[in-house]
Structure 1
Amino acid sequence: MKKLIQIAFSISLTLSALISFHVSAKTFTFTAIPDEDESQLRSRFDKVALYLQEQLGVEVKYIPVKSYSAAITAFKNNQVQLAWFGGLSGVQARKLVPGSQAIAQGYEDQFFVSYFIAHQSTGLTLSEDFPDITGKTFTFGSKGSTSGRLMPQFFIEQHLNKKTKDIFKRVGFSGDHSRTIAQVQSGAYQVGVLNYKVWENTLAKGKIDTNKVNVIWKSPTYPDYQWTIRAGIEKDFGDNFVEKVRRALLNMNDPDLLKSFPRSSFVKATNADYQPVEKVAKQIGLID
């Protein structure tokens, strides 16, 4: 009997070790919407991967994607378990994977804004009133962008009381905020709209010629970017893993890491924080 007990105990320890190894051997993967050029994104998020790996005690890998829709698809297919989404892409991803949670957002994401910009040839300058941009050529960012498409389209149609297709001479989608600046600065489009953080960051680096392009209107605030974690993650990484990831994000205080977003800090977020985004998306027909 004593031998049987010892054998059973040995088997139990072996199984525990195997289970522990199975959990620890898994790689925790994340992605981010490509709101800037790929080299900047990789520089930003490879550092974040190292930070999360140290904090979580599991292997962490950043998976780059080529588009907003690709980020959502990777999340849906469990190719990534965590994503730095915009407001709209986060809503879309959580709808596709019920039970997924927004767990953290940048402090600034609680009151995000879009900047409308114009080429100097338009003669438009910064105004508190919505500018007269009827008949101009206009570029959004990505079709799935909250700050570069969803909320701007809502503000445009709200102020001009027409559908976007009936307002502009030509409408384009640059693909990301950096390209929006470049296209308006070059005169390829007369007016555009983008994430204010990308404008401010690019301006601070001296990469904007304000003799050629300038901000003409700043939008009201709305909730935007957030970290969303996939439902069922704790089956692979253990109990309380969601809270461990949230805590790691909220405790991220390295100025270099935060500057790369750029955000001053991260604060707690919930799915309910993004109901205004979902409401607007339904109103203008981007989601059902």
Structure 2
Amino acid sequence: MSRRPALALVTLFVTLFVTLAAAPLAVANTLVFTAIPDEDETRLQERFQSVAGYLSEALDVDVRFIPVTSYAASVTAFRNNQVQLAWFGGFTGVQARQMVPGSIAIAQGVEDPEYKSYFIANHATGIKTHEEDTAPQALRDVTFSFGSQSSTSGRLMPEYFLREHLGASPEALFERVGFSGNHSRTISLVQSGAYQAGVVSYKAWENEVASGAVNLDQVQVIWETPTYPDYQWTVRGDVDARFGEGFTQRLQRALIDMDDPELLASFPRSGFIPAENADYQELVEVARQLDLLD
């Protein structure tokens, strides 16, 4: 073999080796985050791609958003270190932090300490708006859709209030019980009459109404729950070891400093404030009462 082809071959192998060696480093230096798929997937993609760009600039690191197909998948990705940061609902955040010791809630929306759910009904049911502090008795024996099985506002807290106020499990209260998977689908199912009633995040309802996706001649809010803590940003406890000392504090600061009106409107939140794990103890206790958490 002549010297020139031999040299070219050596160069090829060196280039290949350097490329393969650099690939894990590039991944290791990328902050990857996800979010529970609580609403229409297209809107979620647009929202969080913009958030990725904002965080990348604020933190001076590569930041990537990856979508997941279910609430449970967001927790699994966090547990497996496929993502280091997640926009969780209250209950999924509790689950994730239980699975990954050392993980912490670092930020929440201004509205999240006093979140609430809306019970909605198809107009054909004849159920009227209920303004009492307890869930309406008129919900008995209807067909009913929750959201995701792991949703705080679409399942956990609504089920707790139903049991507390009406004295029975959903299976005993309703003619048929379903789980739509997210708030947008719950609204569609109740609006179409596939289910007579359901429960959704109040923010998701307001978002869908604002986007024109809700026909208020077909579906309406009939009751709003008492408030409870909900959404938050949770980060793995090992990110400082990966991205440098003080990274968690920098990340928290970047989230709290997010003030772009378009970014905030897409959540929708008026801003972000600090959060900590203890803020969600109420959800831990409710989940244990419902046998949804060890």
* Structure 1 residue 37, shift from structure 2 partner: 2.0
* Equivalent residues of 1:125, 1:214 under 8 A apart: no
User: Following the alignment from structure 1 to structure 2, what is the Cα–Cα distance between the partners of residues 160 and 36?
Assistant: 29
Question: How large is the Cα RMSD of the aligned pairs?
Answer: 1.1
> Partner of 1:224 in structure 2?
230
Other-structure match for 1:99: 102
Q: Distance in 2 between matches of 1:171 and 1:24?
A: 43
Letter matched to residue 212 of structure 1: Q
| Aligned mate of 2:131, from 121, 128, 133 | 128
Query: 1-side partners of 2:269 and 2:183: how far apart?
Result: 17
Deviations 1:86-130 (A, max 9, x none): 000000000000010000000000100000000001111211132
- C-alpha displacement of 1:221: 0.3
Deviations 1:53-78 (A, max 9, x none): 00000000001000001000000000
Q: Secondary structure at the match of 1:34?
A: coil
Query: What is the number of residues matched between the two proteins?
Result: 267
**Within 1, Cα distance between the matches of 2:215 and 2:116?**
22
CA contact (8 A) 1:31 1:82 kept: yes
Q: What are the ranges of 5 or more consecutive residues in structure 1 without an aligned counterpart? A: 1-21
- Alpha carbons of structure 1 residues 118 and 55: separation in structure 2 relative to 1, 3 Å: same
Give the SS at the match of 2:53.
helix
- CA drift at 1:179: 0.4
Aligned match of 2:53 = 50
Aligned counterpart, 1:155: 161
1:112 to 99, 110, 115: 115
Change in 2 beyond 3 A, CA 1:280/1:25: closer
Which deviations, in whole Å up to 9, do the C-alpha atoms of 1:164-194 show, x marking residues without a partner?
1111100000100000000000000001000
Superposed CA deviations along residues 148-168 of structure 1, whole A, max 9, x for unmatched, are 000000011111101111111
C-alpha change, 1:279 and 1:36, in structure 2 (3 Å) is same
Determine if contact 2:107/2:232 at 8 Å carries over to the other structure: yes
In 2, the alpha carbon distance for the partners of 1:282 and 1:155 equals 15
| Alpha-carbon distance between aligned partners in 2 of 1:146 and 1:244, rounded to the nearest angstrom | 28
Q: Distance in 1 between matches of 2:81 and 2:212?
A: 39
Contact 2:109 2:271 in 1 (8 A): yes
Deviation at 1:25, TM superposition (A): 6.5
Does structure 1 residue 80 correspond to structure 2 residue 86? Answer: no
- List per-residue Cα deviations over 1:227-262 (Å, max 9, x = no partner): 000011111100000000000000000000001100
Structure 2: which 5+ residue stretches go unaligned?
1-24
- Alpha-carbon distance, 1:38 to partner: 1.5
1:286 is aligned to 2:289? no
- Whether 2:210 is the aligned partner of 1:193: answer no
Contact 1:28 1:61 in 2 (8 A): yes
Matches within 5 A, 1:157-172: 157-172=163-178
What percent of counterpart residues are identical? Answer: 57
Amino acid at match of 1:33: I
Kindly provide the amino acid, as one letter, of the partner of residue 185 in structure 1.
Q
User: C-alpha separation between the residues in 2 aligned to 1:96 and 1:117?
Assistant: 34
CA contact (8 A) 2:28 2:242 kept: no
Matched, 1:137 2:143: yes
Q: Give the AA of the match of 2:175.
A: K
* 1:65 partner SS: coil
Distance 2:192 2:61 in 1: 46
> How high is the TM-score relative to the length of structure 2?
0.89
* Counterpart contact for 1:30–1:63, Cα < 8 Å: yes
* Letter in structure 2 aligned against 1:195: S
CA distance in 2, matches of 1:269, 1:253: 17
Distance 1:86 1:77 in 2: 18
Secondary structure of the 2:37 match is: coil
Aligned pair in 2 of structure 1 residues 174, 240: CA closer, same or farther (>3 Å)? same
Matches within 5 A, 1:173-188: 173-188=179-194
Q: 1:231 to 1:211 in 2, by over 3 A?
A: same
